[in-house]
Amino acid sequence: MATNIMFLRIPNANVNCTRNFMNKKLPFPQLLKMENGAKKQREAMNKVANYSNGCMKLGRVWRKIQGLNNWENLMEPLDSLLRDEIIRYGEFVLACYKAFDLDPNSKRYLNCKYGKSSLLQEVGLGDSGYEVTKYIYATPEINIIPPIQNMSPSCCGKWVGYIAVSSDEESFKLGRRDLMISFRGTVTNLEWLVNLMSSLTPARLDPHHPRLDVKVEAGFLSLYTSNEKELKFGLPSCRQQLLSEISRLLNLYKDEEMSITIAGHSMGSALAHLRAYDISELGLNKVVKNDSARVPVTVFSFGGPRVGNSGFKKRFEELGVKVLRIVNAKDPITKLPGVFFNEGFKVFADRYDLPWSCSCYVHVGVELMLDFFKMDNPSCVHGLETYINLLKCHDPAKSNRDLGINVQSKELNIDHKTKILLGFMNILGPNQAPNIMSPSFLYYFLSHILIF
C-alpha cells in the first residue's frame, strides 16, 4: 500500500540566531523570540517523530497489545504502547457518557444527543480515525411490584453504546482493520436494579450447544437479550442489534486483517464480556479462508464487575477471548457480585473444588491493578474519567507499585462513621426521605456498607 510521507524542512535557527547575535544585527529580545520559535519547532518535530515511530511500532506488535500472550512482560512496568491503547479505548467509552442525554425535558432524553456522523466530532474525538456505523440500545426487562415512582417503563430501550470501524488511514497505522464496540456504564434506575440481580443463570447463547455449566448474572443477561416485544415497532434486543452489525462488518472486510475490540465501563464491561463470548461461541470471528483461524477478540474492561461462574471463565479461555481488566483496588463495583462467594472461596488448599464451586462468581482475564486512591470518596473511585486521567499521568518507566498519585480528601479529619452519616445526608438532602432507587444512594450503600 503506497503512502504519502510529509517531510518538514526546519532552518538551522540556532546557528542563524547565534550568528546574528555575534554580529549584533538583532536586538536581544528579537533574538530570544527566534530562539523560542526554534525550540517550539524542535518540540513539534519530536512529537511528530515520536507519534510516527509509535504508529509504526503498534502496526508491528498490535497482536501482543491486544493480548496474544495475555500481556506477558507488558504489565510490570506498564508498557507505554499498551498504556496508550488502554487510554484510547477508555476515551471511546467516555464518549458514551459525554453524549448521553440526561435532560428530562429533551426529546433525546436517555438517548444519544448526536447523530452517528457527528458523535465523535462532538465529544472531541474527531481525529480518532474511526467512523460510527451503528448505535446500540438495551432494554432492561424487570417487573417491579409495586411500580416505583418516576421510573421509566421497562419496555423502553436506552442508548448504551455504539459500533465504530477504523478508517483506511487509521487501519494502516494500527496494522489491521479494527471493529470497535463501546458500552457505557450504569446510569438509569432500572440499570441499577439489573446490577443487583445477582443470581446465576445458564447463558444458552448457542442454540446448538446450550452449555448449561456456563452461567452468567441474570440481570446482565436480561439487559443483553431482552427486546421490546410489547411494542408494535419495538427495538430488537441489544444482542440482535450487535450480531447483525458485526456480521455485516466482518463480511465487508473479510479480505483484510481485522481485530474486534470491545470496551466498556462498569455495567458496560459486563455487556462487553457477554458480547465477546457470544461472538466467539457462535464462531462469527472465524476467518472465511481458514476455518481454523479466528479474528482476535479483545475486551478492555474498566471498573467492571464479575459476570459469570467458573464455567463461563473456562469457556472464555477455550475460545481464546482476551480480557484486560483495569481496576482500582478501592472500587467496590469490581468486587461485585460475589462479595463472599467468589474465586477466592471455591477451592480448598488449592487442590479440592468445594461443592459450591460452580455457583461462585469468578473474574475473567488479566487484571491491571491501579491502587492510586487514598480516600473514601465513592464518587471518584469508580469514575471512568478519573481512571483515564490518572493513567495519563502514569510514568511508563516506573513500576505500578510506584504509581503513588495521592488524591487527598478535602474533608475535615472526622471519624469514619461520621463520614458515612454526612454522605447519606448529602444524598438525601434537607427534609427528604431516602430514595432507595437513587443511583447515588445505591452506590454509597454498596461502597460503605457491603464492601468496606
Span 349-401, pLDDT tens digits: 344 445 445 668 899 999 998 875 554 555 678 889 888 987 888 655 554 55
Cβ-proximal residues to 248 (8 Å cutoff; 6+ apart), any chain:
none
Task: Tell which residue, 68, 58, 21, has the closest CA to residue 295.
Answer: 68
Cell numbers 442489534 correspond to: 241
Where does the pLDDT of residue 404 fall: very low under 50, low under 70, confident under 90, or very high at 90 and above?
very low
127 in catalytic set: no
Quick one: how far is CA 287 from the chain centroid? 26
Question: Are residues 17 and 123 part of one domain?
Answer: no
Distance between CA atoms of residues 21 and 45, nearest Å:
25
Question: Are residues 265 and 217 part of one domain?
Answer: yes
Hey, is 265 helix, strand or coil?
A: strand
Question: What's the pLDDT score for residue 84?
Answer: 95
Please determine, for residue 119, whether its predicted confidence score (pLDDT) is greater than 50: yes
Task: Tell which residue, 312, 317, 83, has the closest CA to residue 212.
Answer: 312
CA distances from 235 to 181, 193, 225, 368 (A): 19, 21, 11, 36
pLDDT tens, position by position, 155-174: 477 899 999 999 999 999 99
Hey, is 166 helix, strand or coil?
A: strand
Question: Are residues 166 and 45 part of one domain?
Answer: no
Question: Are residues 375 and 442 part of one domain?
Answer: no
Task: Tell which residue, 202, 237, 241, 240, has the closest CA to residue 223.
Answer: 237
Question: Are residues 447 and 377 part of one domain?
Answer: no
Question: Are residues 294 and 226 part of one domain?
Answer: yes
Mean pLDDT for the stretch of residues 105-117: 94
Please determine, for residue 439, whether its predicted confidence score (pLDDT) is greater than 70: no
Hey, is 380 helix, strand or coil?
A: helix
In the 8-state DSSP scheme, what is residue 86? H
Q: Which of 370, 387, 403 is the last residue of a domain?
A: 403
pLDDT tens, position by position, 185-202: 988 766 666 656 668 999
Cβ-proximal residues to 16 (8 Å cutoff; 6+ apart), any chain:
34
Question: What's the pLDDT score for residue 328?
Answer: 86
Question: Are residues 417 and 374 part of one domain?
Answer: no
Question: What's the pLDDT score for residue 313?
Answer: 95
Q: Which of 403, 421, 436 is the last residue of a domain?
A: 403
Cβ-proximal residues to 217 (8 Å cutoff; 6+ apart), any chain:
197, 198, 199, 200, 201, 270, 305, 306, 307, 308, 337, 361
Distance between CA atoms of residues 407 and 330, nearest Å:
13
Question: Are residues 288 and 424 part of one domain?
Answer: no
pLDDT tens, position by position, 303-354: 999 999 999 999 999 999 999 999 988 888 888 887 655 566 555 434 444 5
Residue range of the domain that includes 8: 1-65
- Cell readout for 8 is 518538514
Question: Are residues 383 and 259 part of one domain?
Answer: yes
Q: Which residue has the higher pLDDT, 35 or 47?
A: 35
448 in catalytic set: no
Please determine, for residue 48, whether its predicted confidence score (pLDDT) is greater than 80: no
* Beta-strand relationship, 258-265 and 177-183: parallel
Mean pLDDT for the stretch of residues 253-276: 96
What is the residue type of 241? Answer: Q
Where does the pLDDT of residue 49 fall: very low under 50, low under 70, confident under 90, or very high at 90 and above?
low
Q: Which of 65, 84, 105 is the last residue of a domain?
A: 65
Distance between CA atoms of residues 134 and 243, nearest Å:
12
Average pLDDT, the chain: 76
Question: Are residues 286 and 426 part of one domain?
Answer: no
CATH label of the domain that carries residue 249: 3.40.50.1820
Question: What's the pLDDT score for residue 43?
Answer: 62
H or E stretch at 120: helix 119-122
- Cell readout for 12 is 538551522
Phi then psi dihedrals of residue 347, to 5 deg:
-125, 135
To 10 degrees, the CA torsion angle through 267, 273, 279, 285? 120
Peptide bond into 396 cis (omega under 30): no
Question: What's the pLDDT score for residue 27?
Answer: 56
Question: What's the pLDDT score for residue 11?
Answer: 39
Average the pLDDT over each of 100-104, 135-139, 320-324, 418-422 and give the range with the smallest value: 418-422
Mean pLDDT for the stretch of residues 240-255: 96
Mean pLDDT for the stretch of residues 87-115: 95
Catalytic residue among 154, 278, 331, 447: 331
pLDDT tens, position by position, 50-63: 555 556 689 999 99
Please determine, for residue 223, whether its predicted confidence score (pLDDT) is greater than 70: yes
52 in catalytic set: no
Catalytic residue among 265, 382, 394, 448: 382
Question: Are residues 146 and 93 part of one domain?
Answer: yes
Question: What's the pLDDT score for residue 197?
Answer: 60
Sign of CA dihedral 194, 384, 301, 169: positive
Mean pLDDT for the stretch of residues 65-69: 96
Are 295 and 255 contacting, i.e. CB atoms less than 8 angstroms apart?
A: no
Are 67 and 322 contacting, i.e. CB atoms less than 8 angstroms apart?
A: yes
The fraction of the chain above a pLDDT of 90, given in percent, is: 48
Task: Tell which residue, 316, 303, 302, 296, has the closest CA to residue 446.
Answer: 303
Are 245 and 170 contacting, i.e. CB atoms less than 8 angstroms apart?
A: no
Catalytic residue among 171, 182, 259, 266: 266
Average the pLDDT over each of 88-92, 94-98, 243-247, 366-370 and give the range with the smallest value: 366-370
Mean pLDDT for the stretch of residues 169-182: 97
Q: Which residue has the higher pLDDT, 282 or 430?
A: 282
Hey, is 165 helix, strand or coil?
A: strand
Question: Are residues 433 and 329 part of one domain?
Answer: no
Q: Which residue has the higher pLDDT, 415 or 103?
A: 103
Q: How many separate domains does the chain show? A: 3
CA distances from 212 to 202, 206, 216, 226, 311 (A): 5, 11, 10, 20, 9
